Chain A
Amino acid sequence: MVTLSPEDALSVSDLRKSYDGNEVVAGIDFRVTRGTCFGLLGPNGAGKTTTLRCCLGLTVPDGGTIRLGGHTVPEEAEKARANVGVVPQFDNLDPDFTVRENLIVYGRYFGLSNAAIDARIPDLLDFAGLVGKADARIQTLSGGMKRRLTLARAMINDPDIIFLDEPTTGLDPQARHLIWDRMKQLTTRGKTLILTTHFMDEAERLCDRLAILDHGRMITEGAPRNLVATHIEPQVVEVFGDEAADWAREHDTLGERIEVAGETAFFYCQDVAPLLSALHDQPGLRYLHRPATLEDVFIKLTGRELRD
């Protein structure tokens, strides 16, 4: 049955959660429109995982309200999860089972009959690029195949909303592109995706909207292209070399903003012509001129220092 509800797939308002007096999520608000891909970005410890766990009803928040697929979470989390698929950060496929058995056993958790699951398996294997692997044991699958099976497993109940927690971490570029392609197919089919990732190119490519979290707060939210347009100068020149840092300090008028990290100087510019001509006279320095990306926004908003 298709229910055409005007309600958002997910809405979170004033979400709060503390552990031992330490506020990990400190008042987060966002809404995810049906049929779109929404990204949750942030450095390690920003509160992404806690936010996801709250949305799924696995962690009870200290405050705030969550509506997932028309249900209030955590009170109606079981009902909400019936219409949700989850691709967890770490594969937790059953190592003792074959591909098919993994799908059957997982489908039963949703109350599906063996016949109903069997009927879905060919499509799911096709979707995951695992045709002919139904009887393969999990140990014989590559990392990319396991991820795709995890994605197929998350689709066993034909959910409307799919959570993907760092779905491409640890994959080679080929496997990553295949996952991206499948995610695009899902949004084309009207599914709602909620994605966390550390890969800015992934977020920029897939997300209709995204939020950047840091220290439990949402720093900004919007369409990736708009975030790049509002938060940062359009052009970036990265200057490399032993002398780059010193040279950048001496030429700090050539960019609106300059950041130095190790042996690289980042010039953020409206107009790069004067900078590029100055660089022409410096054979000891190499440089890369590129348009600003989401990663530049991310670094600007969350800083360059390491998070552990």
Chain B
Amino acid sequence: MSKATLFSLPRPGLRWLPVWRRNFLVWRKLALPSVLGNLADPLIYMLGLGYGLGALLPEIGGVSYVSFLAAGTVVASTMNAATFEALYSGFSRMHVQKTWDAILNTPLTLDHVLAGELVWTASKSLLSGLAILLVIAMLGLSASPLALWTIPVIFLTGLTFGALGLIICALAPSYDFFMYYFTLFITPMTLVSGVFFPADQLPPLLHAIAAWLPLSHAVQLARPLLNGQIPANAGGHVAALACIATLAFYVATILTRRRLLK
């Protein structure tokens, strides 16, 4: 492949929609276990840690620990849902089932496939985030109408981690490879991005580094919104997530072209 073809910007237009619909149809058939997995696991952590640990802790920033943790749980479970979808499900479709190969024999191109996968990943993680949001509302942990603004934040978070996940998917020789990504990136990021405790508890250097991580931006948008406040530097955080998502999607496109269109 020539350099110009390899590095050309993705031009998916709107023809990715059939790819999205394919994944949606699979999800619809397997929805129950999928929703259960996306919802039950983070909820158990949120409620267990939130009320159990929360009973021992003072308020954080004027809210109970469970409310503090709830905001972190929304974005962290969005991140996890997007990551799992892009990594495991994406890899199954690309490498194991050869679904993408089948699509590439039609008028659609790899750009359409990847765009469809990205939007699908964000859509699925949106459902996961929305489910947590619903529980938060039912428990009365957030009552502000501003909380509705977390919905686009969830979608943007899903796009960001979906795009990052597609990079890892393009590089993976097998499913085992994904353990590196979780152990070296996702898990440490979850701990330093202010999901479980305020990030300013970290040593200053680590705090400064953590502030650049995508999950930190998502937390700093979602937490004030759920507490009924407009986030400080909202534009900056949105722009940071959008930039990471765009750049990651471009890199994922190049890597996948190199892998599949040799």
Contacts and interface: CB of A to CB of B under 8 A. Distances in A.
Interface of A: 19, 56, 58-60, 78-79, 81-82, 84, 86, 88, 90, 92-97, 101, 105-106, 108-111, 157
Secondary structure class of chain A's binding surface, majority of residues: loop
A55 B59 CA distance: 66
10 contacts: A60-B2, A92-B99, A92-B102, A95-B97, A96-B29, A97-B25, A101-B25, A108-B21, A109-B106, A110-B107
B209 interface: no
Contact of A105 (B15, B22, B30): B22
A95 B96 CA distance: 11
B98 interface: yes
Contacts of B233: none
Interface in B70-86: none
**Chain B interface: which size bin?**
20 to 34
Contact of B107 (A19, A81, A94, A96): A81
B26 A94 contact: yes
Given A60-B1, A92-B99, A96-B29, 12 more contacts: A19-B262, A56-B105, A59-B261, A60-B261, A82-B107, A84-B105, A92-B97, A94-B22, A94-B99, A96-B26, A97-B26, A108-B22
B103 A109 contact: yes
Q: List the 7 shortest-distance A-B pairs measured between CB atoms, nearest first.
A: A92-B98, A109-B106, A86-B105, A108-B18, A92-B102, A82-B107, A96-B26
Q: Which of A95, A96, A97 has the most CB of B within 10 A?
A: A96
B211 interface: no
Nearest to A96: B26
B105 A81 contact: yes
Nearest to A154: B105
B109 interface: yes
Contacts of B15: 111
Interface string B108-141: 1100000000000000000000000000000000
B104 interface: yes
A4 B16 CA distance: 32
A134 to B, nearest CB: 16
Contacts of B5: 60
B107 A78 contact: yes
B21 A81 contact: no
B1 A88 contact: no
A254 B165 CA distance: 68
Contact of B21 (A78, A90, A105): A105
Contact of A58 (B19, B29, B104): B104
Given A60-B5, A92-B101, A105-B22, A81 B106 contact: yes
Contacts of A93: 102
A140 to B, nearest CB: 15
Contacts of A105: 18, 21-22, 25
A111 B108 CA distance: 9
Contacts of B105: 56, 58, 81, 84, 86, 88
Contacts of B2: 60
A106 B97 CA distance: 15
B102 A88 contact: yes
Contacts of A108: 18, 21-22
A93 B108 CA distance: 17
A106 B102 contact: yes
Contacts of B101: 88, 92
Contacts of B19: 109
Interface in B53-89: none
A101 B1 CA distance: 34
Contacts of A56: 105
A78 B109 contact: yes
B125 to A, nearest CB: 20
Contacts of A81: 105-107
A78 B99 CA distance: 18
Interface in B153-193: none
A154 to B, nearest CB: 8
